[in-house]
């Protein structure tokens, strides 16, 4: 029974990962027509409006005051940090490149889970995650000329850090309330600010934005920012933050494929080799023990 329950957590984690994988390709579409700052607040306003409607319809009570700080911390990462860094990165970096870099998220998530959620990954788990991270960092250096990271890569690392902390805090909260409610309160907290900022940053040339830019905004607002967390938060509550978080190592393949289909980015051999190397580490890491205290 326990094994089946854990498999359910991994399955939900995989579905959530696929939904999140559309974030960079959709963001790249959106920044072709919108400024990164406007995109960040607009997607937060869209998600916040959806979250507020759902909470009102289902008559959910305000969470206990003891959880407010943790909800705010998670929201700061998932609603502000991750979207802003991703939007800034996608103004200069291909989505496929960003997809390989985001493969480092599981290592960062495991580290934050050990700090905040009292999970204790085994030595083998850490080795697998570190090897995956080395592949990602090597890929970044090779694509930037081998001397230093580009500004886009630094923004991607900010995306990774925000995602890791946000996933960890969301996973902790999902053990105390339904996953959909966790993300709903997160986006609602920032709704007043997001709505005002959206109005203040409203671009005068918004009528000239392409359909693809609007489609990208709709995806990152409703799916990436909101609905994908329904699934992924539930997965972390069932299967554990570190283990489910490591499924995010599969994102490179999915993002590279979507970058080809959505953004028309060519797939080169080096990207595929590094993506394959990163994905191989998740197959090893999934066999390693993670103790939940």
| Cα–Cα–Cα angle for 264, 22, 184, rounded to 5 degrees | 155
Q: What is the DSSP string of 7-38?
A: HHHHHHHHHHHHHHHTHHHHHHHHTTTS-HHH
Residue 262 has pLDDT above 60, yes or no: yes
pLDDT tens digits, 147-159: 566 788 889 989 9
113: phi > 0 → left, psi -120 to 50 → alpha, else beta; which? alpha
Q: In the beta sheet, which residues pair with residue 121? A: 290
Q: What is the reported pLDDT for 29?
A: 94
pLDDT score for 26: 95
Query: For residues 120 and 291, what is the distance between their CA atoms, to the nearest angstrom?
Result: 5
From CA 53, how far away is CA 56, in angstroms rounded?
5
More confident call, 93 vs 292: 93
For position 1, what pLDDT does the model report? 56
pLDDT at 110: 74
> Quick check: 177 pLDDT over 70?
yes
Higher-pLDDT residue of 203 and 174 is 203
Q: Report the mean per-residue pLDDT for the chain.
A: 84
**Domain limits of the chain?**
2-292
pLDDT on residue 63: 92
Reported as type and span, the H/E element at residue 74 is helix 68-75
- pLDDT at residue 36, as a whole number: 93
Q: How many CB atoms lie within 10 A of CB 59?
A: 6
How many C-beta atoms surround the C-beta of residue 175 within 10 A?
Answer: 15
Phi-psi region of 240 (alpha: psi -120 to 50; beta: other; left: phi over 0): left
- Chain centroid, CA 215 distance in Å: 19
In terms of phi and psi (left: phi > 0; alpha: psi -120 to 50; beta: otherwise), the region of 177 is: beta
Alpha-carbon distances of 10 from 19, 153, 180, 216, 232, rounded to whole Å: 14, 29, 17, 27, 10
Task: Return the higher-pLDDT residue of 120 and 2.
Answer: 120
When pLDDT is averaged across residues 123-132 and rounded to a whole number, the result is 78
List pLDDT tens digits, range 55-83.
Answer: 999 999 999 999 999 999 999 999 999 99
- 98 pLDDT exceeds 60? yes
Residue 286's pLDDT is 59
Which position has the higher pLDDT, 112 or 157?
Answer: 157
Pick from 159-163, 194-198, 249-253 the range whose average pLDDT is largest: 194-198
C-alpha 58/C-alpha 129 separation (Å) is: 40
More confident residue, 84 or 151: 84
Q: How does pLDDT run across 188-231, given as a tens digit for each residue?
A: 999 999 999 999 999 988 888 999 999 999 999 999 989 988 88
39 vs 105, residue with greater confidence: 39
**Residue with the larger pLDDT of the pair 71 and 282:** 71
Number of CB atoms found within 10 A of residue 178's CB = 16
Q: Is the pTM of this model over 0.85?
A: no
């Amino acid at each position: 029974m326990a094994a089946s329950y854990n498999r359910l957590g991994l399955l939900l984690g995989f579905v959530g990962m696929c939904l999140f994988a559309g974030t960079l390709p959709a963001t790249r579409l959106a920044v072709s027509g919108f400024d990164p700052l406007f995109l960040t607040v607009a997607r937060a306003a869209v998600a916040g409006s959806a979250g507020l409607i759902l909470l009102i319809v289902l008559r959910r009570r305000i969470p206990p005051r003891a959880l407010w700080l943790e909800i705010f911390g998670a929201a700061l990462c998932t609603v502000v940090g991750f979207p802003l860094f991703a939007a800034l990165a996608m103004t200069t970096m291909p989505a496929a490149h960003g997809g390989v870099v985001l493969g480092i998220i599981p290592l960062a998530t495991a580290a934050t889970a050990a700090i905040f959620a009292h999970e204790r990954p085994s030595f083998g788990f850490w080795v697998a995650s570190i090897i995956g991270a080395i592949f990602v960092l090597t890929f970044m250096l090779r694509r930037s000329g081998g001397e230093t990271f580009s500004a886009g890569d630094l923004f991607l690392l900010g995306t990774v850090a925000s995602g890791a902390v946000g996933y960890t805090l969301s996973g902790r909260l999902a053990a105390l309330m339904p996953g959909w409610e966790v993300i709903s309160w997160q986006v609602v907290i920032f709704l007043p600010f997001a709505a005002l900022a959206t109005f203040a940053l409203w671009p005068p040339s918004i009528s000239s934005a392409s359909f693809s830019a609007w489609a990208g905004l709709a995806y990152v607002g409703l799916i990436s920012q909101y609905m994908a967390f329904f699934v992924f938060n539930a997965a972390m509550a069932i299967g554990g933050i570190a283990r489910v978080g490591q499924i995010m190592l599969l994102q490179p393949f999915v993002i590279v494929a979507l970058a080809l289909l959505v953004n028309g980015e060519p797939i080169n051999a080096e990207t595929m080799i590094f993506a394959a190397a990163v994905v191989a580490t998740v197959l090893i890491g999934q066999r390693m023990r993670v103790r939940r205290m």
